[in-house]
Amino acid sequence: MKLPWRVAAANVDEDAYLVGEPTVAAVNVALAKAYATAAEAHETIIAADTLVVVDSDILAKPQTTDEARAMLERLRNRAHHVLTGVVLQHARRTWAGVVDTRVVMRNYSRAEAEDYIARGEPFDKAGGYAVQDQTFRPVDGLEGCYLNVVGLPLCAVAAGLNALGTEAQSAGAPPCAYCTAGEGLVRSGS
Residue 49, H or E segment: strand 45-54
Amino acid of residue 181: A
Residue 7 falls inside a structural domain: no
Residue 158 falls inside a structural domain: yes
Residue 3 falls inside a structural domain: no
Residue 51 falls inside a structural domain: yes
**Which domain, by its residues, includes 143?**
18-186
Average pLDDT by stretches of 10, the chain with 190 residues: 76 84 93 86 89 94 96 98 94 91 96 97 95 94 90 86 75 57 45
User: Distance (Å, rounded) from C-alpha 102 to C-alpha 80?
Assistant: 6
Q: What is the CATH number of the domain that holds 115?
A: 3.90.950.10
Residue 179 is predicted with a pLDDT of: 60
Catalytic residue among 15, 49, 66, 140: 49
Residue 92 falls inside a structural domain: yes
Residue 87 falls inside a structural domain: yes
Residue 42 is predicted with a pLDDT of: 80
Residue 171 is predicted with a pLDDT of: 53
Residue 101 is predicted with a pLDDT of: 93
Rounded to two decimals, what is the model's pTM? 0.86
Give me the number of domains the chain comprises.
1
15 is catalytic: no
DSSP code string of 164-175: TT-------SSS
